[in-house]
């Protein structure tokens, strides 16, 4: 092919059939813009997935630790005193070993409107603020006076475990049968 023929071909590109012309600048710019929008959406989706996975992993780990704490609390004797519990007894209760110390469930009891016992700890790599609340407020309405819920009794206690100001686990614990109050007039 001669130099004249190549120049003629380039010069006559506008006259070439549509299949040989290529893309215009507007088409290329539009394609690049659409690609950028799609990549940004993909990036946002991936970032959201990674953040969600991290949150789920943290919540799952907090749940496992809370179940361990609840097992410890369920293993405590009910006790006879409604007096307070010392910081040393709380440390012993929630430390790494299996020795639960001398605390009793009734010593952990707080009034319904109290936040409970809290501590900051890093447990198995999970750092945060833990809170344990033991109360006779069985329906968590801020009082211990609902007869229908059998609140205010000394033989039924609600246990709540919080992590970073979110409730993770709750349960109700009854005292041993010999200490249980008989419901008069209850129709079971």
The total of other beta-carbon atoms located within 10 Å of residue 85's CB is 22
Q: What is the pLDDT of residue 31?
A: 94
What are the φ/ψ torsions at residue 59 (nearest 5 degrees)? -65, -40
User: Any residues with CB less than 8 A from the CB of 63 and at least 6 apart, and which?
Assistant: 168, 169
CB 87 within 8 A of CB 117: no
Q: Rounded distance, CA 25 to CA 23, Å?
A: 7
Q: Per residue of the chain (188 residues), what is the pLDDT tens digit? A: 555 455 555 555 556 566 667 889 999 999 999 999 999 999 999 999 988 898 899 999 999 999 999 999 998 998 877 668 888 888 888 888 888 888 888 889 999 999 999 999 888 889 999 999 999 999 989 888 887 778 878 888 999 999 999 999 999 998 888 888 777 655 65
What are the φ/ψ torsions at residue 90 (nearest 5 degrees)? -65, -40
Q: Rounded distance, CA 123 to CA 120, Å?
A: 10
Q: What is the pLDDT of residue 7?
A: 52
Q: What is the pLDDT of residue 82?
A: 62
What are the φ/ψ torsions at residue 111 (nearest 5 degrees)? -60, 160
């Amino acid at each position: 092919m001669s130099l004249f023929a190549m120049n003629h071909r380039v010069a006559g590109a506008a006259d070439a059939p549509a299949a040989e012309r290529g893309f215009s600048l507007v088409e290329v710019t539009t394609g690049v813009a659409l690609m950028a929008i799609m990549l940004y959406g993909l990036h946002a989706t991936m970032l959201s997935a990674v953040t969600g996975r991290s949150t789920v992993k943290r919540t799952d780990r907090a749940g496992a630790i809370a179940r361990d704490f609840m097992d410890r609390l369920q293993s405590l004797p009910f006790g006879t005193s409604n007096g307070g519990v010392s910081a040393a007894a709380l440390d012993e209760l929630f430390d790494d070993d299996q020795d639960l110390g001398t605390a009793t469930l009734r010593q952990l009891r707080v009034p319904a409107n109290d936040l409970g016992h809290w501590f900051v700890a890093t447990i198995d790599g999970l750092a945060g603020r833990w809170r344990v609340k033991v109360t006779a407020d069985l329906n968590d309405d801020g009082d211990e006076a609902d007869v229908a819920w059998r609140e205010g009794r000394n033989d039924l206690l609600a246990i709540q475990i919080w992590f970073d100001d979110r409730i993770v686990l709750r349960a109700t614990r009854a005292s041993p049968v010999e200490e249980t109050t008989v419901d008069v007039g209850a129709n079971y």
